[in-house]
Amino acid sequence: MKAWRMKAWLSIVTVLVVASLTNFTGEARAESQTPNGDRDREALQRIANPPLGLPAVPFPSANPPSVEKILLGRKLFFDPRLSANGTMSCGTCHLPEQGFTVTGRARSIGHGGVELRRNAPTVLNAAYLQSVFLDGRRDSLEAQALDPLISPEEMANSSLSAVLDTIRGARDYDGLFEKAFGGGPTTERLAQAISTYERTLLAANSPFDRWYYGGQQDAIGDSAKQGFELFTGRANCATCHTVHQSHALFTDNQFHDDGTGWRRTRGPAATRAQFAQLLLVGNAPHRPADLGRFEVSRDVGQMFWYRTPSLRNVALTAPYMHDGSFKTLRDVVDYYNKGGFSWYGIDPRIKRLELTRNEKAALVAFLESLTADAVPQ
């Protein structure tokens, strides 16, 4: 073998070995996934031309996307150095190979081994969220991106200034903020970079999309087609998981009580107002872990309300519900078929469905048809 070929071969092997050994660091993910910027240019094109089934991507006028922001945002998203103990990144709870969530656990593990209160929602198609977090406490991806960094149970930094100090002290970030924003690291630019990367995670063109929006009749089977008919008809799913003529987000971006919040707490037999009062003064005998939208609004009528999740790619993101209490899609279908967990606060649209075994199987087949073609990419 000629010397130049041997040198090139050894260089390739070295790159592959280093990438595999450091795969879980933010630096390695950012660099190994972005050869010559090709992947970032493709990601930018995805924002400009979303896959079949998705509408135009909204983004703030103050934060237009760019290749440089995407590269920087990916690096930040997967960098565990941005946590207080250097072990957690955004990607720890939003793993790409697990549908940008964590499968196999009802709730993620946070700082110091603490189990978090909620099931980690997927970041796929988060670009379309009108309010972020399951309780809707933030109104943009930019605002959301900063919260986990200083949450004591998540990345546990003492302040955002501490995060910026970490970034400024890491030589591999030299020049990246300047290329993306024309200036060095700031809190605002940190949030803008991460949120720009998250807006590239668009996943559609599923078998359902190719059938419903693309006119490919054999893209899904008869069982999935029956499931869609039930989904938009007798099963009443589409009232919250909406489908439009030109696109489908499979969420109304609103908040609802599906019964699982009260089911999990099994709180005192009191009215909702009495129960809320007990919680506010700290005297509840069985203080529940999660009160949903009420924690933000302090509106008693919104207790145990959670944002409707999108059902796109749902077959990849088990377990389900805000607390990860259902392991399979069939479990979810069975729950709604029985009318949910009955209590007076549950959304009145949730009622017993009396579906047959075949109809439940058809609903699951339809949900499985929502997996995007480009998820591996």
CATH of 3-199, one of 2.60.120.260, 2.60.40.3950, 3.30.300.30, 1.10.760.10: 1.10.760.10
Q: What is the pLDDT of residue 257?
A: 96
Work out the percent of the chain whose per-residue pLDDT is above 70: 84
144 pLDDT more than 60 = yes
Q: What is the pLDDT of residue 160?
A: 98
207-258+294-368 and 3-199 share a CATH fold: yes
Q: For residue 305, what are its two tokens?
A: 């309300």
| Pairing label, strands 306-307, 255-256 | antiparallel
Domain boundaries, the chain: 3-199, 207-258+294-368
CB 150 within 8 A of CB 190: no
How large is the average pLDDT for residues 162-166? 98
**Tell me: the pLDDT tens digits for 246-259?**
999 999 999 999 99
Q: What is the pLDDT of residue 329?
A: 98
Q: Determine whether 151 is exposed, middle or buried from the number of CB atoms within 10 Å of its CB (0-12, 13-18, 19+).
A: middle
User: Where is 17: in which H helix or E strand?
Assistant: helix 3-21
Q: For residue 2, what are its two tokens?
A: 């000629």
Q: What is the pLDDT of residue 280?
A: 57
- Say whether 174 sits in a helix, a strand or coil: coil
Chain centroid to CA 101 = 6
- b/e per residue 68-92 (b: at least 16 CB within 10 A): bbbbbbbbbbbbbbbbbeeebbbbb
How large is the average pLDDT for residues 337-365? 95
18 pLDDT more than 60 = no
Chain centroid to CA 236 = 24
The verdict on domain 207-258+294-368 having CATH code 1.10.760.10 is yes
- b/e per residue 341-369 (b: at least 16 CB within 10 A): beeebbeeebeebebeeebbbbbbbbbbb
How large is the average pLDDT for residues 348-362? 97
Say how far apart CA 363 and CA 169 lie, in whole Å.
52
Q: What is the pLDDT of residue 49?
A: 97
Q: What is the pLDDT of residue 290?
A: 85
